Structure 1
Amino acid sequence: MADNGVLAAGPETAITNVSQGDLPPGLADLVEATVPGMKIAEAERKEREGRVYYDVEGTRADGSEVEIDVLQQPDGKLVAVEIQRDIAWATAPAQVRAAAAAKADAFTPERVIESRQVDTGATIYELFKPGEKDEPAMEVKWQGGKAEVLTERAIH
């Protein structure tokens, strides 16, 4: 398959809404430790490829929207893996925009999620094609001043 920048469909994901009263023990504390002052608005439990995640959405103390993706490890321990926010495409680093534009099937994204990877410090820019809101069509990794269009979806 040619490296045109567009990703294959992602794995099937089972999604369940979770009320604040049904959040796993320790999740609210982890959210507070990860983004101090965050107010939780909603949460989803997502299961894919044998992994369980909690996507916790809310607002920072300054009112800006934020989402934290939390992995539930097999032993039950909760680990924050991503801190995400929507951004305007024009505000992404120029090298990220240039790397995406250089691909054969380049497109102007309708939605861009900036996803900071907690473990590595890398940022993944998830680019959504117009009319395709379920999953990103392209992902660009930004780390150490270098942009790389991913050929496989980031694990989280």
Structure 2
Amino acid sequence: MKHALFAIAAAAVLGACSPAQEDKADTAPTALPPGPETQISDVSPADLPPALTALIQQTVPGMTVAEVERKEREGRVYYDVEGARPDGSEVELDIQQTGDRFEVVEIQRDVAFADMPQAVQTTARAATGAFAPERIIESRQMDGSVIYELFAVGQPAEPAMEVRVRDGKAEVLTERWPH
């Protein structure tokens, strides 16, 4: 009986990483075109404008800011603010600047493939050029949708695939998400 239970458990684990999925890991993903050129500069958390610091604390009360990058692309300015919540969990805020105004456009965290909603897992596995991601970022948008950015092994600069969940439906994006 123990051997039968072990065999069933082993089959379930192996099913999560089917040979078809493993084969796809060797295939270079081609779903998204390259992103726009981005100019990046580091910013000291102490040098942030007071309005930006206030927005960070309003969005994630008690957040400890560890690192800030200012990014400029396609005429838009963003601040990527990385840090930790009071419970120690990592969080990143993507904040867009328009004139003197700041707006949170994404709240991000790293997640494991198994922690994504089942619909996202199924959609990603079924996509052309599917692969086993090395890193996944969950980006909660302010419009209620969630973007899952899947990074291929050895390609840490840009996601190789993005899956959006909106109104409970998952879809692979064919164009890079603007934020």
Normalised TM-score (structure 1): 0.93
**In 1, Cα distance between the equivalents of 2:128 and 2:82?**
34
**In 2, Cα distance between the equivalents of 1:121 and 1:153?**
18
Deviation of 1:147 after TM superposition, in Å, equals 0.2
Pick aligned residue for 2:114 from 90, 93, 99: 90
**4+ residue runs over 4 A deviation:** none
Contact 1:5 1:103 in 2 (8 A): no
Q: Deviations over 1:35-72 (max 9, x none)?
A: 11111111000000010000000001110000000000
- What aligned pairs does 1:56-67 form with structure 2 within 5 A after superposition? 56-67=81-92
**In 1, Cα distance between the equivalents of 2:37 and 2:84?**
28
Which structure has the larger Rg over C-alpha atoms? 2
Tell me whether 1:151 sits opposite 2:174 in the alignment.
Answer: yes
Contact 1:46 1:54 in 2 (8 A): yes
> Which residue matches 1:48?
73
> Which residue matches 1:102?
126
SS of residue paired to 1:12: coil
Q: Deviations over 1:102-135 (max 9, x none)?
A: 11200011000000002x1110000000100001
Unaligned runs of 5+ in 2: 1-28
> Which residue matches 1:72?
97
Tell me whether 1:7 sits opposite 2:32 in the alignment.
Answer: yes
Deviation of 1:5 after TM superposition, in Å, equals 6.5
**In 1, Cα distance between the equivalents of 2:114 and 2:30?**
19
Deviation of 1:33 after TM superposition, in Å, equals 0.7
Tell me whether 1:128 sits opposite 2:151 in the alignment.
Answer: yes
- Read off the aligned partner of 1:71 and give its amino acid letter: Q
**In 2, Cα distance between the equivalents of 1:154 and 1:114?**
13
SS of residue paired to 1:148: strand
SS of residue paired to 1:30: helix
SS of residue paired to 1:96: helix
Residues paired across the two proteins, number: 151
- What aligned pairs does 1:136-147 form with structure 2 within 5 A after superposition? 136-147=159-170
Contact 1:40 1:58 in 2 (8 A): yes
| RMSD of Structure 2 on Structure 1 (CA) | 1.1
Unaligned runs of 5+ in 1: none
The percent of aligned pairs where both chains have the same amino acid is 60
Normalised TM-score (structure 2): 0.82
Contact 1:5 1:149 in 2 (8 A): no
Deviation of 1:144 after TM superposition, in Å, equals 1.8
**In 2, Cα distance between the equivalents of 1:103 and 1:113?**
18
- Read off the aligned partner of 2:104 and give its amino acid letter: A
Task: Please state which structure has a larger fraction of its residues in helix.
Answer: 2
